Amino acid sequence: MALNRLFASLTIAPTLTRRSIHVAAINLSSHPNIVKPKPGLGKSYRRIVHFPDQYTVKPLNVTNLAGRDPESGRIVAKGIGGGIKHKYHWIDWLRTGPTEGPPQEEKVIQVLEDGCRTAHIALVAVGDKLKYILATENMKAGDIIRSSRELPRIPVRANEGDAYLLGALPAGTLVHSIEKVPGEGGLYIHAAGTFGTILRKQDDRVIVQMPSKRLFSLDQRCMAVVGRLSNAIHSSTPIGSPQRNRWLGNRPRSGLWQRKTGKHGRKIKPPKPVKEIQAAKPKSLPAIQMTMHP
Protein backbone atom coordinates (compact mmCIF):
# COMPACT_ATOMS: atom_id res chain seq x y z
CA MET A 1 0.00 0.00 0.00
CA ALA A 2 2.81 2.42 0.90
CA LEU A 3 4.71 1.66 -2.30
CA ASN A 4 1.57 2.21 -4.37
CA ARG A 5 1.12 5.64 -2.79
CA LEU A 6 4.76 6.45 -3.48
CA PHE A 7 4.54 5.44 -7.16
CA ALA A 8 1.23 7.29 -7.55
CA SER A 9 2.83 10.47 -6.24
CA LEU A 10 5.78 9.99 -8.59
CA THR A 11 3.59 9.62 -11.66
CA ILE A 12 1.96 12.97 -10.98
CA ALA A 13 5.25 14.79 -11.53
CA PRO A 14 5.94 15.61 -15.20
CA THR A 15 9.60 14.58 -14.96
CA LEU A 16 11.11 12.02 -12.62
CA THR A 17 13.84 14.00 -10.88
CA ARG A 18 15.90 13.48 -7.77
CA ARG A 19 14.01 16.26 -6.01
CA SER A 20 10.58 14.77 -6.82
CA ILE A 21 11.63 11.41 -5.37
CA HIS A 22 12.90 13.12 -2.23
CA VAL A 23 9.70 15.17 -1.77
CA ALA A 24 7.51 12.08 -2.31
CA ALA A 25 9.47 10.12 0.28
CA ILE A 26 9.18 12.95 2.82
CA ASN A 27 5.43 13.23 2.26
CA LEU A 28 5.00 9.48 2.66
CA SER A 29 6.94 9.38 5.92
CA SER A 30 5.13 12.40 7.37
CA HIS A 31 1.67 11.06 6.47
CA PRO A 32 1.74 7.32 7.15
CA ASN A 33 -1.23 5.17 6.25
CA ILE A 34 -2.44 4.58 9.82
CA VAL A 35 -6.05 3.71 10.53
CA LYS A 36 -7.42 6.22 13.02
CA PRO A 37 -9.35 4.49 15.84
CA LYS A 38 -12.86 5.52 16.75
CA PRO A 39 -13.92 6.62 20.26
CA GLY A 40 -16.13 4.45 22.38
CA LEU A 41 -16.06 0.66 22.73
CA GLY A 42 -15.19 1.03 26.42
CA LYS A 43 -11.69 2.42 25.77
CA SER A 44 -10.52 5.53 27.61
CA TYR A 45 -8.36 8.07 25.81
CA ARG A 46 -7.95 10.31 28.88
CA ARG A 47 -5.29 8.41 30.83
CA ILE A 48 -3.42 5.12 31.16
CA VAL A 49 -3.12 3.76 34.69
CA HIS A 50 0.00 1.75 35.49
CA PHE A 51 -1.32 -1.08 37.66
CA PRO A 52 1.18 -3.19 39.64
CA ASP A 53 0.97 -6.97 39.91
CA GLN A 54 -0.58 -6.95 43.39
CA TYR A 55 -3.26 -4.74 44.93
CA THR A 56 -2.00 -1.72 46.83
CA VAL A 57 -3.46 1.40 48.42
CA LYS A 58 -0.48 3.46 47.27
CA PRO A 59 -1.60 6.05 44.67
CA LEU A 60 -0.75 4.81 41.18
CA ASN A 61 1.05 6.74 38.46
CA VAL A 62 -0.86 7.61 35.30
CA THR A 63 -0.01 8.74 31.78
CA ASN A 64 -2.34 11.41 30.44
CA LEU A 65 -3.31 10.83 26.79
CA ALA A 66 -5.14 14.13 26.15
CA GLY A 67 -7.57 12.36 23.83
CA ARG A 68 -4.89 10.72 21.68
CA ASP A 69 -4.44 7.11 20.68
CA PRO A 70 -1.38 5.72 22.54
CA GLU A 71 -0.18 3.77 19.48
CA SER A 72 -0.58 6.19 16.59
CA GLY A 73 -0.63 9.45 18.55
CA ARG A 74 -3.64 10.73 16.63
CA ILE A 75 -6.42 12.69 18.29
CA VAL A 76 -9.46 10.47 18.80
CA ALA A 77 -11.52 12.36 21.39
CA LYS A 78 -11.40 16.08 20.59
CA GLY A 79 -13.03 17.17 23.83
CA ILE A 80 -10.19 15.91 26.06
CA GLY A 81 -7.03 17.85 26.80
CA GLY A 82 -4.97 19.40 29.59
CA GLY A 83 -6.26 19.08 33.11
CA ILE A 84 -4.66 18.65 36.51
CA LYS A 85 -2.57 15.50 36.83
CA HIS A 86 -4.14 13.25 39.47
CA LYS A 87 -2.89 10.10 41.10
CA TYR A 88 -5.15 7.07 40.68
CA HIS A 89 -6.51 5.24 43.73
CA TRP A 90 -7.12 1.55 43.06
CA ILE A 91 -10.67 0.59 44.08
CA ASP A 92 -11.28 -2.95 45.33
CA TRP A 93 -14.57 -3.74 43.60
CA LEU A 94 -14.95 -7.20 45.15
CA ARG A 95 -16.86 -7.01 48.43
CA THR A 96 -16.88 -10.48 49.95
CA GLY A 97 -17.73 -12.09 53.25
CA PRO A 98 -18.61 -15.39 54.93
CA THR A 99 -21.35 -17.57 53.45
CA GLU A 100 -22.72 -18.43 56.90
CA GLY A 101 -22.48 -17.06 60.38
CA PRO A 102 -21.94 -13.43 61.45
CA PRO A 103 -20.91 -10.94 58.73
CA GLN A 104 -17.39 -9.63 58.30
CA GLU A 105 -16.81 -6.24 59.93
CA GLU A 106 -14.73 -3.52 58.31
CA LYS A 107 -13.72 -0.14 59.72
CA VAL A 108 -13.65 3.10 57.73
CA ILE A 109 -10.32 4.85 58.28
CA GLN A 110 -10.71 7.91 56.07
CA VAL A 111 -13.05 9.42 53.47
CA LEU A 112 -11.28 11.43 50.78
CA GLU A 113 -11.82 12.90 47.32
CA ASP A 114 -10.47 11.28 44.18
CA GLY A 115 -9.62 13.35 41.11
CA CYS A 116 -10.10 10.43 38.71
CA ARG A 117 -13.78 9.79 39.62
CA THR A 118 -16.80 11.80 40.65
CA ALA A 119 -17.74 9.97 43.86
CA HIS A 120 -15.66 10.12 47.04
CA ILE A 121 -13.68 7.09 48.18
CA ALA A 122 -13.09 5.55 51.59
CA LEU A 123 -10.03 3.83 53.02
CA VAL A 124 -11.24 0.68 54.80
CA ALA A 125 -9.37 -1.71 57.11
CA VAL A 126 -10.25 -5.41 56.86
CA GLY A 127 -8.24 -7.36 59.42
CA ASP A 128 -4.61 -6.46 58.71
CA LYS A 129 -5.27 -5.26 55.15
CA LEU A 130 -6.29 -1.90 53.67
CA LYS A 131 -8.39 -1.23 50.61
CA TYR A 132 -10.33 1.53 48.87
CA ILE A 133 -14.08 1.41 48.29
CA LEU A 134 -16.65 3.93 47.04
CA ALA A 135 -17.99 6.04 49.89
CA THR A 136 -21.70 6.36 50.53
CA GLU A 137 -23.56 9.58 51.17
CA ASN A 138 -23.26 9.69 54.99
CA MET A 139 -20.11 7.59 55.46
CA LYS A 140 -17.48 9.01 57.81
CA ALA A 141 -14.28 7.90 59.52
CA GLY A 142 -14.84 5.42 62.33
CA ASP A 143 -17.93 3.74 60.87
CA ILE A 144 -18.21 -0.03 61.01
CA ILE A 145 -19.56 -1.64 57.82
CA ARG A 146 -20.41 -5.29 57.29
CA SER A 147 -20.16 -7.73 54.40
CA SER A 148 -21.77 -11.14 54.04
CA ARG A 149 -22.56 -13.61 51.26
CA GLU A 150 -25.17 -15.51 53.23
CA LEU A 151 -28.63 -15.85 51.69
CA PRO A 152 -31.01 -15.95 54.69
CA ARG A 153 -34.65 -16.91 54.69
CA ILE A 154 -35.70 -13.55 56.17
CA PRO A 155 -34.37 -10.32 54.58
CA VAL A 156 -31.75 -8.49 56.62
CA ARG A 157 -31.96 -4.90 57.85
CA ALA A 158 -28.74 -3.48 56.41
CA ASN A 159 -27.15 -0.13 57.18
CA GLU A 160 -25.57 2.29 54.74
CA GLY A 161 -22.29 0.94 53.39
CA ASP A 162 -23.03 -2.73 54.13
CA ALA A 163 -22.62 -5.29 51.35
CA TYR A 164 -25.07 -8.17 51.03
CA LEU A 165 -26.53 -10.39 48.35
CA LEU A 166 -29.43 -8.91 46.38
CA GLY A 167 -31.61 -11.80 47.54
CA ALA A 168 -30.87 -10.95 51.19
CA LEU A 169 -32.11 -7.33 50.96
CA PRO A 170 -35.77 -6.27 51.21
CA ALA A 171 -37.65 -4.49 48.43
CA GLY A 172 -37.17 -0.75 48.33
CA THR A 173 -33.51 -0.83 49.39
CA LEU A 174 -31.17 1.67 47.70
CA VAL A 175 -28.06 -0.06 46.35
CA HIS A 176 -24.96 0.64 44.24
CA SER A 177 -21.84 -1.21 43.01
CA ILE A 178 -23.95 -4.18 41.88
CA GLU A 179 -22.32 -7.28 40.46
CA LYS A 180 -23.25 -8.50 36.99
CA VAL A 181 -22.05 -12.05 37.72
CA PRO A 182 -21.66 -13.38 41.28
CA GLY A 183 -18.07 -13.12 42.46
CA GLU A 184 -16.77 -10.75 39.74
CA GLY A 185 -17.00 -7.45 41.63
CA GLY A 186 -19.32 -4.44 41.46
CA LEU A 187 -19.92 -3.31 37.88
CA TYR A 188 -23.05 -1.12 37.88
CA ILE A 189 -23.71 2.31 39.47
CA HIS A 190 -20.40 4.04 40.23
CA ALA A 191 -21.17 7.73 39.52
CA ALA A 192 -21.57 10.34 42.25
CA GLY A 193 -25.01 10.59 43.86
CA THR A 194 -26.50 7.66 41.93
CA PHE A 195 -28.32 4.63 43.28
CA GLY A 196 -30.49 1.72 42.21
CA THR A 197 -33.67 0.48 43.82
CA ILE A 198 -34.66 -3.11 44.50
CA LEU A 199 -38.24 -3.41 43.26
CA ARG A 200 -39.27 -7.06 43.60
CA LYS A 201 -38.12 -10.66 43.44
CA GLN A 202 -39.06 -13.27 40.84
CA ASP A 203 -38.04 -16.81 41.80
CA ASP A 204 -34.22 -16.67 42.03
CA ARG A 205 -33.98 -13.28 40.24
CA VAL A 206 -34.13 -9.75 41.62
CA ILE A 207 -35.53 -6.79 39.64
CA VAL A 208 -33.43 -3.62 40.17
CA GLN A 209 -34.28 -0.18 38.81
CA MET A 210 -31.13 1.56 37.56
CA PRO A 211 -30.49 5.33 37.68
CA SER A 212 -31.59 5.45 34.02
CA LYS A 213 -35.01 4.03 35.13
CA ARG A 214 -34.30 0.80 33.24
CA LEU A 215 -35.14 -2.46 34.95
CA PHE A 216 -32.46 -5.14 35.24
CA SER A 217 -33.13 -8.73 36.27
CA LEU A 218 -30.08 -9.98 38.18
CA ASP A 219 -29.13 -13.15 39.99
CA GLN A 220 -30.07 -13.09 43.65
CA ARG A 221 -26.49 -14.08 44.58
CA CYS A 222 -24.99 -10.90 43.12
CA MET A 223 -23.46 -8.63 45.76
CA ALA A 224 -24.59 -5.03 46.17
CA VAL A 225 -23.65 -2.21 48.52
CA VAL A 226 -26.46 -0.52 50.42
CA GLY A 227 -26.98 3.24 50.19
CA ARG A 228 -26.58 6.16 47.82
CA LEU A 229 -23.15 7.18 46.56
CA SER A 230 -21.44 10.25 47.97
CA ASN A 231 -20.93 13.72 46.42
CA ALA A 232 -24.55 14.01 45.31
CA ILE A 233 -24.12 17.74 44.50
CA HIS A 234 -21.61 16.96 41.75
CA SER A 235 -24.17 17.09 38.93
CA SER A 236 -25.69 20.39 40.12
CA THR A 237 -22.42 22.22 40.85
CA PRO A 238 -21.63 24.85 38.18
CA ILE A 239 -18.18 24.83 36.63
CA GLY A 240 -17.88 28.57 37.21
CA SER A 241 -15.21 29.63 34.73
CA PRO A 242 -13.58 28.49 31.49
CA GLN A 243 -10.26 28.11 33.32
CA ARG A 244 -11.75 25.62 35.77
CA ASN A 245 -13.17 23.72 32.82
CA ARG A 246 -9.59 23.41 31.56
CA TRP A 247 -8.48 22.16 34.99
CA LEU A 248 -11.07 19.40 34.66
CA GLY A 249 -9.44 18.27 31.41
CA ASN A 250 -12.05 19.54 28.94
CA ARG A 251 -10.65 21.07 25.76
CA PRO A 252 -12.67 24.03 24.40
CA ARG A 253 -13.98 24.04 20.85
CA SER A 254 -11.81 26.98 19.87
CA GLY A 255 -11.90 28.74 16.54
CA LEU A 256 -15.62 28.33 15.87
CA TRP A 257 -17.27 31.47 17.19
CA GLN A 258 -16.14 34.77 15.70
CA ARG A 259 -16.62 37.94 17.68
CA LYS A 260 -16.69 40.28 14.69
CA THR A 261 -19.25 38.52 12.51
CA GLY A 262 -20.91 36.27 15.08
CA LYS A 263 -20.35 33.25 12.86
CA HIS A 264 -21.19 29.90 14.49
CA GLY A 265 -22.60 31.80 17.46
CA ARG A 266 -25.94 33.09 18.60
CA LYS A 267 -27.72 34.79 15.75
CA ILE A 268 -29.16 38.17 16.76
CA LYS A 269 -32.15 38.51 14.48
CA PRO A 270 -34.51 41.49 14.23
CA PRO A 271 -37.91 41.02 15.83
CA LYS A 272 -40.72 39.95 13.60
CA PRO A 273 -43.22 42.61 12.51
CA VAL A 274 -46.35 43.18 14.51
CA LYS A 275 -49.05 40.73 13.63
CA GLU A 276 -52.50 42.26 13.63
CA ILE A 277 -55.14 40.03 15.18
CA GLN A 278 -58.78 40.78 14.29
CA ALA A 279 -62.04 39.00 14.70
CA ALA A 280 -63.27 37.17 11.65
CA LYS A 281 -65.78 39.18 9.65
CA PRO A 282 -69.19 37.56 9.25
CA LYS A 283 -69.70 36.19 5.80
CA SER A 284 -72.96 37.02 4.00
CA LEU A 285 -74.84 34.09 2.56
CA PRO A 286 -75.34 34.07 -1.22
CA ALA A 287 -78.77 34.97 -2.53
CA ILE A 288 -81.08 32.09 -3.39
CA GLN A 289 -82.91 32.30 -6.73
CA MET A 290 -86.19 30.42 -7.00
CA THR A 291 -87.32 29.20 -10.42
CA MET A 292 -90.36 27.27 -11.69
CA HIS A 293 -88.27 24.89 -13.78
CA PRO A 294 -87.27 21.55 -12.23
Instruction: Give me the residues paired with residue 207 across strands.
Output: 200, 217
d(CA 93, CA 121): 12
Instruction: Give me the residues paired with residue 206 across strands.
Output: 201, 218
Residue among 196, 195, 194, 193 at smallest CA distance from 206: 196
Task: Report pLDDT for 31.
Answer: 63
Do the Cβ atoms of 197 and 210 come closer than 8 Å? no
Inform me whether the pLDDT recorded for 12 exceeds 80: no
For the chain, count helices (H), then strands (E): 3, 14
Tens digits of residue pLDDT in 213-231: 999 999 999 999 999 999 9
DSSP of 85-140, one letter per residue?
Answer: ---BPPB-------SSSSPEEEEEEEEE--TTSSS-EEEEEETTEEEEEE-BTT--
Tens digits of residue pLDDT in 124-152: 998 889 999 999 999 999 999 999 999 99
Nearest 5°: phi and psi at 144? -110, 120
Task: Report pLDDT for 13.
Answer: 45
Strand spans (E) along 135-220: 144-147, 163-165, 174-176, 178-179, 186-188, 196-202, 205-209, 215-219
Percentage of the chain surpassing pLDDT 90?
45
Angle at 95 between CA 91 and CA 96, to 5 degrees: 145
Give me the amino acid identity at 228: R
Task: Report pLDDT for 19.
Answer: 76
d(CA 252, CA 246): 8
Query: Residue 64 burial by CB count (10 A; 0-12/13-18/19+): exposed, middle or buried?
Result: middle
This prediction has a pTM of: 0.72
Task: Report pLDDT for 20.
Answer: 77
Angle at 156 between CA 185 and CA 199, to 5 degrees: 70
Tens digits of residue pLDDT in 72-92: 888 888 888 888 888 899 999
Percentage of the chain surpassing pLDDT 70?
90
